[in-house]
């Protein structure tokens, strides 16, 4: 019956292309048989073959959810979790949140009716805190396992443990590459104890979906690009003016870059001949609204070429039909953690060969395509084979805190898919110790450590939240925590460019730095702008982000109340500030220092900053209040590297002696003015 559909007809929107035509359809029986028979099933298939959207539906129809159990599907990224959930809900024919839902940090769109639940891998780990055997799930599918995200890796280890206590649990691992073998070995290996008579054959099987791939012509640059962003835009128009129809997918590294590129593309497309085909440029990155995310799947209007400018998310987790041309800037934003300085960065890094190949493959899904690599062939040859798993280059403090809370005390003996380097583990233990989450025996402290693990924010912010009641500023810290958790800036550029934004920002500016400025913004929004998007527009504030901050704050508040922490909301900001404005600001800054002492820096005579051990030079980000201002000691929320410079964002002035209080005192030993850092363990 599928043959009745004429696929080339533009009358059939992509959304209604029958799923029976996907490569996975022919494997349905076999996949169900394997999952029925074996504890672990590994599905390998090219991106777009239907793993993410179809397997959960197969399972649902095969009554894996009959007794109220849930099929959980993890995604390494929030955007992927929400877009695929929306897609599957559409295929199933239900409203999102009913039979099909998703759950990501601070956002839960599921109900008692939900049978298929998409979650981020990090969130499923968090669920294990409350339900250690993940007992509500009949099947857990760890999707995109080839990406080797930190939380997926840990989750696989935790699932291996759970499986021993829950033989009925089915584990499905899906991967776009053949690293699958290693994963099956991992599940069948008997690690430490005597473990029955598992053999690899008894534990599971690998199934490969042969996906069809059309040839992709690869083009390299003759000379290295000076500015890959400019080069992306140039290439878009070269393709547009000289190549036959077909949509373009361009990879850049992050939201800022993508926004700039979109603006450039839109500006330049105005110069196209009025009768020539036009260009419709669309962004795809985390932090877009769901409607924006889904609009990349819409067919472009007639006589229009769609250009999607995306982060790495379109490399494997999200598939868009109709792509014939791929532009690969050659970079991806990767997390990197320096155990010596304790500083974590998110830096554009050259992609691996595996990534470059995967990106190029996005062009050959429906017919032969072309891939433009914006680097030389020599540069390609010099790329590493595969990306280093996140677990080997991340700050491990958050996951170690989680593992400890799950009762896994001996981190070194935990069954890692790939063990992390010892210095990363040591450093994480040191940090958790100085935050008061671990005791001298590296055991989770009560109640602080347990509570830190329960709060859905990173350990430094968790510590600050838990200290806040005793410092009389919990209400304020909650607002600050919510504001700093937003992805991207709350400010937007108006039609008047940067200028208007600057003026608005100055209205809310607090002398002491960005955190208090964010607090001013939040408190004014609550009293003046909550119901009015106009107020936000006039102040160059993103209404959606602000609304989100309110909801995040409510959730954090609920988490705290569940832990038995009472939240007393402060008086209306105007009143409060008059009474003890100065004192209030001091308490807040002091409280922030109890968690963020690791992120302390001192301003140098030339206006740059140095970390405490003077090993790293930092620059205030142009969006920070501390840009071009005088300060001495500061703490900062996060770090970003672009090109040669390391920027700090959300910066607040502090007093040097606050660094000597509490756990931070042990973390830093400041001797006779010479700043030497010794570890706190
Ligand atoms: P895999 O997980 O194997 O990479 P998916 O299940 O994500 O594959 O995708 C299967 C097919 O579904 C893709 O070829 C794509 O065309 C289609 N698809 C997925 N998400 C959407 C969406 N939101 N809108 C339209 N089509 C989609
Ligand atoms: Mg997928």
Q: Render pLDDT for 378-423 as a digit per residue (tens, 0 to 9).
A: 999 999 999 999 999 999 999 999 999 999 999 989 999 999 999 9
Give the count of domains, the chain. Answer: 4
CA-atom Rg of the chain in angstroms: 26
Q: For atom 22 of ligand 1, which residue has the closest CA?
A: 87
Q: 3-class DSSP state for residue 429? A: helix
Give the residue from 208, 237, 253 where a domain finishes.
208
Average confidence (pLDDT) over 3-27 = 56
pLDDT of 346: 82
In this structure, the strands spanning 100-104 and 668-671 are: unpaired
Same domain for 374 and 232:
yes
CA of 48 to the centre of ligand 2 (A): 7
Same domain for 142 and 198:
yes
CA of 50 to the centre of ligand 2 (A): 7
**Residue 512 lies inside a defined structural domain of this protein:** yes
pLDDT band at 640 (very low <50, low <70, confident <90, very high): confident
Share of the chain above pLDDT 90, in %: 64
Q: 3-class DSSP state for residue 569? A: coil
669 vs 482, higher pLDDT: 482
Nearby residues for ligand 2 (ion, Cβ within 5 Å): 52
Average confidence (pLDDT) over 350-367 = 91
Q: Which atom of ligand 1 is nearest to the CA of 53?
A: 6
Same domain for 298 and 172:
no
Same domain for 224 and 194:
no
**Residue 375 lies inside a defined structural domain of this protein:** yes
**Residue 414 lies inside a defined structural domain of this protein:** no
CA 56/CA 88 separation, integer angstroms: 9
> Each residue of 427-481: pLDDT tens digit?
999 999 999 999 999 999 999 999 999 998 999 999 999 999 999 999 999 999 9
Q: Which of 76-85, 299-308, 654-663 shows the lowest mean pLDDT across its residues? A: 654-663
10 vs 405, higher pLDDT: 405
Average confidence (pLDDT) over 600-625 = 89
Q: Which domain range does residue 607 map to?
A: 591-680
> Each residue of 548-580: pLDDT tens digit?
899 999 999 999 999 999 888 875 554 444 335
**Residue 388 lies inside a defined structural domain of this protein:** no
Same domain for 356 and 438:
no
The answer to whether 557 and 482 have CB atoms below 8 angstroms apart is no
401 vs 214, higher pLDDT: 401
Instruction: Kindly tell me if the per-residue pLDDT of 674 is higher than 60.
Output: no
Nearest to 360 by CA among 350, 372, 352, 349: 372
Q: What CATH code is carried by the domain that includes residue 485?
A: 1.20.120.1080
Q: For atom 21 of ligand 1, which residue has the closest CA?
A: 87
CA 299/CA 287 separation, integer angstroms: 22
9: tokens are 């007809």
pLDDT of 292: 80
530 vs 12, higher pLDDT: 530
> Each residue of 311-358: pLDDT tens digit?
998 888 778 889 999 999 999 999 888 888 777 888 889 999 999 999
In this structure, the strands spanning 116-120 and 170-175 are: unpaired
**Residue 507 lies inside a defined structural domain of this protein:** yes
CA 669/CA 675 separation, integer angstroms: 7
Length of the chain: 681
**Residue 387 lies inside a defined structural domain of this protein:** no
pLDDT of 431: 92
Same domain for 321 and 186:
no
CA of 52 to the centre of ligand 2 (A): 4
Same domain for 279 and 204:
no
pLDDT of 19: 72
Nearest to 649 by CA among 604, 603, 599: 599
Q: Across the strands, what pairs with 639? A: 648
Give the residue from 582, 599, 629 where a domain finishes.
582
Same domain for 221 and 201:
no
Q: For atom 25 of ligand 1, which residue has the closest CA?
A: 15
Q: For atom 6 of ligand 1, which residue has the closest CA?
A: 50
Q: Which of 32-41, 202-211, 518-527, 549-558 shows the lowest mean pLDDT across its residues? A: 202-211
CA of 587 to the centre of ligand 1 (A): 50
CA 449/CA 405 separation, integer angstroms: 8
Instruction: Kindly tell me if the per-residue pLDDT of 189 is higher than 50.
Output: yes
pLDDT band at 643 (very low <50, low <70, confident <90, very high): low
Give the residue from 582, 612, 647 where a domain finishes.
582
The answer to whether 618 and 611 have CB atoms below 8 angstroms apart is yes
Same domain for 173 and 83:
yes
Output the ligand 1 site: residues, CB below 6 A: 14-15, 22, 45, 47-54, 83, 87, 297, 319, 321
Instruction: Kindly tell me if the per-residue pLDDT of 656 is higher than 80.
Output: yes
CA 126/CA 132 separation, integer angstroms: 9
Q: Which atom of ligand 1 is nearest to the CA of 209?
A: 3
pLDDT of 558: 94
Write out the DSSP string of 154-177: HHHHHHHHHHHH-TT-EEEEEESS
The answer to whether 427 and 394 have CB atoms below 8 angstroms apart is no
pLDDT of 357: 93
pLDDT of 335: 85
Same domain for 634 and 573:
no
Same domain for 659 and 533:
no
The answer to whether 68 and 111 have CB atoms below 8 angstroms apart is no
> Each residue of 503-547: pLDDT tens digit?
888 899 999 999 999 999 999 999 886 677 888 988 989 888 899
The answer to whether 160 and 415 have CB atoms below 8 angstroms apart is yes
Nearest to 484 by CA among 468, 512, 465, 503: 465
CA of 29 to the centre of ligand 1 (A): 20
Mean of per-residue pLDDT scores for the chain: 87
**Ligand nearest to the backbone CA of 320:** 1
CA 331/CA 311 separation, integer angstroms: 10
Q: Which residues contact 548 (CB under 8 A, 6 or more apart)?
A: 486
**Residue 390 lies inside a defined structural domain of this protein:** no
CA 462/CA 450 separation, integer angstroms: 11
pLDDT band at 277 (very low <50, low <70, confident <90, very high): very high
CA 528/CA 535 separation, integer angstroms: 8
**Residue 410 lies inside a defined structural domain of this protein:** no
Same domain for 354 and 276:
yes
Q: What CATH code is carried by the domain that includes residue 182?
A: 3.40.50.300
Nearest to 65 by CA among 140, 29, 107, 116: 116
How far is the first Cα of the chain from the last one, in angstroms, to the nearest whole number?
68
Nearest to 122 by CA among 139, 100, 111, 107: 107
């Amino acid at each position: 019956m599928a043959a009745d559909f004429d696929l080339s007809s533009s009358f059939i929107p992509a959304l209604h292309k029958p799923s029976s035509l996907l490569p996975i359809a022919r494997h349905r029986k076999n996949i169900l048989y394997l999952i029925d028979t074996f504890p672990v099933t590994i599905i390998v298939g090219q991106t777009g073959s239907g793993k993410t959207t179809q397997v959960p539906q197969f399972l649902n129809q095969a009554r894996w959810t009959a007794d109220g159990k849930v099929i959980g599907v993890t995604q390494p990224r929030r955007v992927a979790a929400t877009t695929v959930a929306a897609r599957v809900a559409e295929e199933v024919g239900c409203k999102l949140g009913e039979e099909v839902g998703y759950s990501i940090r601070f956002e839960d769109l599921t109900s008692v009716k939900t049978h298929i639940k998409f979650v981020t891998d990090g969130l499923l780990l968090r669920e294990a805190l409350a339900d250690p055997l993940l007992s509500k799930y009949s099947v857990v599918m760890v999707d995109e396992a080839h990406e080797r995200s930190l939380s997926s890796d840990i989750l696989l280890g935790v699932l291996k443990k759970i499986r021993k206590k829950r033989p009925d649990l089915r584990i499905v691992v899906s991967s776009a590459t053949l690293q699958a073998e290693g994963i099956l070995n991992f599940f069948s290996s008997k690690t430490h104890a005597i473990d029955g008579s598992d053999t690899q054959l008894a534990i599971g099987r690998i199934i490969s979906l042969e996906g069809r791939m059309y040839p992709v012509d690869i083009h390299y640059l003759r000379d290295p690009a000076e500015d890959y962003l400019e080069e992306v835009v140039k290439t878009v128009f070269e393709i547009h003016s000289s190549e036959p129809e077909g949509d373009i997918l361009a990879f850049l590294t992050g939201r800022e870059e993508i926004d700039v590129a979109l603006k450039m593309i839109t500006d330049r497309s105005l110069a196209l001949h009025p009768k020539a085909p036009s260009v419709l440029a669309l962004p795809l990155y985390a932090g877009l609204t769901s409607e924006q995310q889904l609009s990349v799947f819409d067919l472009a209007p007639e006589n229009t070429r769609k250009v999607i400018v995306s982060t790495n998310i379109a490399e494997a987790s999200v598939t868009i039909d109709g792509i014939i041309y791929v532009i690969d800037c050659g970079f991806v934003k990767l997390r990197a953690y320096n155990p010596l300085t304790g500083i974590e960065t998110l830096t554009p890094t050259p992609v691996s060969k595996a990534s470059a190949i995967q990106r190029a493959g996005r062009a050959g899904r429906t017919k032969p395509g072309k891939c433009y690599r914006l680097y030389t062939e020599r540069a390609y040859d010099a790329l590493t084979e595969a990306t280093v798993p996140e677990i080997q280059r991340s700050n491990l403090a958050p996951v170690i805190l989680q593992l400890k809370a799950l009762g896994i005390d001996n981190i070194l003996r935990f069954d890692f898919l790939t063990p992390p380097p010892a210095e990363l583990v040591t450093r994480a233990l040191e940090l958790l110790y100085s935050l008061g989450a671990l005791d001298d025996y590296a055991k989770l402290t009560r109640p602080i450590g347990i509570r830190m693990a329960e709060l859905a924010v990173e350990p430094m912010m968790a510590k600050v939240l838990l200290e806040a009641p005793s410092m009389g500023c919990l209400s304020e810290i909650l607002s600050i925590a919510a504001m700093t958790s937003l992805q991207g800036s709350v400010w937007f550029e108006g039609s008047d460019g940067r200028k208007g934004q600057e003026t608005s920002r100055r209205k809310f500016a607090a002398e002491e730095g960005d955190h208090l400025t964010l607090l001013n913004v939040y408190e004014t929004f609550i009293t003046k702008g909550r119901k009015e998007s106009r107020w936000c527009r006039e102040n160059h504030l993103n209404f959606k982000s602000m609304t989100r901050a309110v909801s995040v704050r409510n959730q954090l508040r609920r988490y705290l109340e569940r832990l038995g922490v009472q939240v007393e909301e402060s008086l209306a900001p105007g009143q409060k500030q008059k009474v003890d404005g100065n004192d209030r600001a001091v308490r807040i800054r002091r409280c922030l220092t109890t968690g963020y002492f690791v992120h302390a820096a001192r301003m140098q005579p030339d206006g740059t900053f140095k970390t405490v051990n003077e090993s790293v030079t930092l620059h205030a980000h142009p969006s920070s209040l501390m840009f071009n201002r005088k300060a001495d000691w500061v703490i900062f929320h996060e770090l970003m590297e672009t090109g040669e410079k390391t920027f700090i964002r959300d910066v607040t002035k502090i007093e040097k002696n606050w660094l000597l209080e509490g756990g931070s005192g042990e973390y830093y030993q400041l001797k006779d003015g010479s700043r030497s850092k010794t570890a706190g363990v």
